[in-house]
Chain A
Amino acid sequence: MIDPDLISLAITLKLAAITTVILFVLGTPLAWWLARTDHVSRVLIEPLVALPIVLPPTVLGFYFLILFSPNNPIGQFWYSLTGHTLSFSFSGLVVGSVIYSLPFYVQPLQVAFESVKQEFLDAAATLGAGPLDRFFNIVAPMSRRGFVVAGTLAFAHTVGEFGIVLMIGGNIPDETRVLSIALYDHVESLQYDKAHLLAGGLLIFSFLLLFVVYYLNRRWQTDHTAAH
Chain B
Amino acid sequence: MFSLRYLVMALPLCFAQAASPETLNIAVASNFKVTLEKLIAAEPNRLNHKLKIISGATGSLYTQIVNGAPFDIFLAADMHRPQLLDQERQLPAGSRKAYAIGQLVLWIPGASSQVNEENLSLFTGNLAIANPRTAPYGLAALSLLEKLNTKKPRLIMGENVAQAYQFVHTGNAQAGLVALSQVIDQAIDPQSYWHVPQQYHEPIEQQLVVLNSSPASTEFVNYLLSDPARNIISSSGYQVPGNTNRD
Of chain B, the residue at the smallest CB distance from A185 is: B133
Are B59 and A190 in touch, CB under 8 angstroms? yes
Interface contact A185-B131, CB-CB below 8 Å = yes
B-contact bits for A175-192, CB 8 A (1 contact / 0 none): 000000000110111100
A188 and B159: CB pair below 8 A?
yes
- Which of A61-69, A131-139, A217-225 forms part of the interface with chain B? A61-69
Instruction: Tell me the bound Cα distance from A171 to B173 in angstroms.
Output: 13
Q: How far is the CB of A176 from chain B (nearest CB, A)?
A: 9
Q: Are A172 and B170 in contact (CB under 8 A)?
A: no
Contact of A187 among B59, B154, B172 (CB under 8 A): B59
**B120-164 interface with A by 8 A CB criterion:** 126, 128, 131, 133-134, 154-159, 163
Complex contact B134–A189 (CB within 8 A): yes
Interface hub of B131, B155, B166, B170 (most chain A Cβ within 10 A): B170
- In the bound complex, what is the Cα–Cα distance between A159 and B134 (angstroms)? 24
Interface residues of A, count at CB 8 A: 21
The number of residues on chain B lying at the interface, defined by a beta carbon within 8 Å of a beta carbon of chain A, is 24
Min CB distance, B152 to chain A, in Å?
13
Contact B170–A66 (Cβ < 8 Å): yes
- The answer, yes or no, to whether A87 is at the interface (CB within 8 Å) is yes
Nearest chain B residue, comparing its CB with the CB of A86: B172
Q: Select A65's contact among B57, B62, B172, beta carbons within 8 Å.
A: B172
Decide if B156 touches A88 in the complex (CB within 8 Å).
Answer: yes
Within 8 Å CB of A185, what residues of B? 131, 133-134
Whether B131 pairs with A85 at a CB distance below 8 angstroms is no
Closest to B135 in A: A188
A75: B residues at CB distance < 8 A: 171-172
Q: Contacts of B157 on A, CB cut-off 8 Å? A: 170-172
Question: Are B159 and A171 closer than 8 Å at their CB atoms?
Answer: yes
Question: Please, which residues of chain B bring their CB within 8 A of the CB of A188?
Answer: 57, 59-60, 131, 133-134, 159
A71 contacts B170, C-beta separation under 8 Å: yes
What's the least CB distance linking B27 to chain A, in Å? 15
Known: A185-B133, A189-B133. A69 touches B172 (CB 8 A): yes
A-B contact pairs, 30 of them (CB 8 A): A65-B167, A65-B172, A68-B172, A69-B170, A75-B172, A85-B126, A87-B167, A88-B126, A88-B154, A88-B156, A88-B172, A88-B173, A166-B159, A170-B128, A170-B158, A170-B167, A170-B173, A171-B158, A172-B155, A172-B157, A184-B159, A187-B59, A188-B60, A188-B131, A188-B133, A188-B134, A189-B59, A190-B62, A190-B63, A190-B84
Ranked nearest first, the 4 interchain pairs of A and B with the lowest CB-CB distance are A71-B171, A188-B59, A170-B156, A171-B157
**Chain B residues within 8 Å of A, Cβ to Cβ:** 57, 59-60, 62-63, 84, 126, 128, 131, 133-134, 154-159, 163, 166-167, 170-173
